[in-house]
Amino acid sequence: MTISIEIPQPDDWHVHLRDGDMLAAVVGYTARRFRYALVMPNLVPAITSTAAVATYRERIMAAVPVDAADFRPLFAIYCSRVIDLDDLRRGAADGSIAAVKYYPAGATTNSAAGGSSMFDFMSLFEVMADSEIRLLVHAESTDPAIDIFDREAHFLSEQLAPVCAALPELSVTVEHVSTSDGVDFVAAHPRCAATITPHHLARDRSHLLANGMRPDLYCKPVINSTTDRAALLAAATSGAKGYMLGTDSAPHPTTAKYGPVAKAGVFNAAYGLEVVAEAFYQAGRLDQLGQFASTNGVACWGVEPPSSTITLTRETIDRELATSLTTTKGDEVVLFGTEEAALWTIQTTPVTAATFGC
Ligand SMILES: [Zn+2]
């Protein structure tokens, strides 16, 4: 049976575009499919100023393919002691800085410059609350005494909860929420939103570990239990406005994935939307896909609604699917979601602006 759904053009509220030849190899996947994309700042060195955003934006736009005509990257800067508050205010006012991203030091890729405690940044967060600048949080404890599967819950209760209590006007996004505890936290905090990734919606730790260790599914925060996945899917399909798609697409070469220590990150820019569509379809909630992938993010960030739609069709046809990409330097990156991509076709459909009231 063929099933189709038309949704406003989606956005990606959490993506790693990298730099150099990797940027050139991956940006087209995001730019052709998504309109807004909130680009993460964890380069080396980290993006911490309007000047660094401006040059990174130039490198990104130079790499965007010509057929991605309406790609609108937004930028978070890295929460660090070197942030100049006047520069942050200026960047927020002119739109060049959309948000500040807090990384616990050592939690994930290129996070060595992050904070050891959120409480060290309270004066910065106060400025952000006053200036209505959103704080993005990688909510994961780095305390080695805490079990890896409990680290999100621990961070939320020990770090983010006191910050939200002290600064109730601060808008926060819990990035790549990965547990039922995370969903409960967002539900209990009215100024908190959350991004959810395709891989956390569609896979659990048994996929990661049960039939041989799968480095391509290894990410931070680590994919958690079946119960956690069910809570994420229920939240994403609930129609609640605080949940939005953030792919956390994070390419690593196979040489960094298949060695003795796998780097954290799933490259899902190519097929992430198909993965989400299939998860919603299997949950019987395909009608909520537009809310999660398109509408909620635009409303949360107060940006212009799209003037085009995409149509997703689930049908059994023969498809030629790429399973990896290769950069100009010869690095191979595995594409996540080929199973779901084999089931779905996605087409972009221009419509009149009046359709979405912009
Ligand atoms: Zn990320």
Tell me, in angstroms, the distance from the centre of ligand 1 to residue 207's CA.
20
Q: How far is the CA of 40 from the centre of ligand 1 (A)?
A: 7
Bridge partners (DSSP) of residue 42 are none
What number of other Cβ atoms are within 10 A of residue 3's Cβ? 13
CA of 14 to the centre of ligand 1 (A): 6
CA-based end-to-end distance of the chain: 35
- Which string of DSSP letters, residue by residue, matches 128-194? HHHTTPEEEE------TTS-GGGHHHHHIIIIIHHHHHH-TT--EEETT--SHHHHHHHHH-TTEEE
Distance of CA 197 from the midpoint of ligand 1 (Å): 10
pLDDT of 6 reads 97
* Distance in Å, CA 108 to ligand 1 centroid: 8
Report CA(105)–ligand 1 centroid distance (Å): 14
- CA 118–ligand 1 middle distance (angstroms): 18
Give how far Cα 119 sits from Cα of 11, 14, 47, 191, Å: 31, 24, 21, 19
Could you tell me the distance, in angstroms and rounded to a whole number, from the CA of residue 178 to the centre of ligand 1? 12
Joined together, the tokens standing for residue 252 give 């690593």
Query: Strands of 134-137's sheet, edge to edge?
Result: 12-15, 36-39, 72-78, 99-102, 134-137, 172-174, 192-196, 243-245
Task: Give the Å distance between the CA of 241 and the centre of ligand 1.
Answer: 21
Other C-beta atoms lying within 10 Å of the C-beta of residue 355:
13
358 residues of the chain, pLDDT tens digit each? 899 999 999 999 999 999 999 999 999 999 999 999 999 999 999 999 999 999 999 999 999 999 998 999 999 999 999 999 999 999 999 999 999 999 998 777 777 677 789 999 999 999 999 999 999 999 999 999 999 999 999 999 999 999 999 999 999 999 999 999 999 999 999 999 999 999 999 999 999 999 999 999 999 999 999 999 999 999 999 999 999 999 999 999 999 999 999 999 999 999 999 999 999 999 999 999 999 999 999 999 999 999 999 999 999 888 899 999 999 999 999 999 999 999 999 998 664 444 433 3
Query: What Rg, from alpha-carbon coordinates, does the chain have?
Result: 19
Query: What Cα–Cα distance (Å) separates residue 166 from each residue in 28, 34, 129, 208, 238?
Result: 41, 35, 11, 38, 29
Core vs surface per residue 70-106: b (16+ CB within 10 A) or e = ebebbbbbbbbeebeeebbbebbeeebbbbbbbbbee
Could you tell me how far CA 76 lies from the centroid of its own chain?
12
Distance 107 CA to ligand 1 centre (A): 11
Those residues whose C-beta lies under 8 Å from the C-beta of residue 202, and which sit 6 or more positions away, are: 229, 275, 276, 278, 279, 337, 340
DSSP 348: E
DSSP 8-state assignment for residue 249: B
Residue 248 designated active-site: yes
Q: What angle do CA 38, 130, 54 make, to 5 degrees?
A: 35
CATH entry 1.10.760.10 includes domain 3-356: no
Question: How far is residue 244's CA from residue 247's CA, in Å, rounded to a whole number?
Answer: 10
Q: How far is the CA of 167 from the centre of ligand 1 (A)?
A: 24
Helix (H) or strand (E) holding 257: helix 254-257
pLDDT at site 353? 43
d(CA 302, CA 282): 31
Sheet bearing 344-350, strands edge to edge = 3-8, 308-314, 344-350
Q: Which of 130, 184, 248, 331 is catalytic?
A: 248
* Nearest alpha-carbon partner for 149 in 243, 40, 229, 247: 229
Alpha-carbon span 322 to 130, nearest angstrom: 47
Residue-level pLDDT at 1: 84
Cα distances (angstroms) measured from residue 285 to each of 14, 274, 281, 288, 341:
23, 14, 6, 6, 18
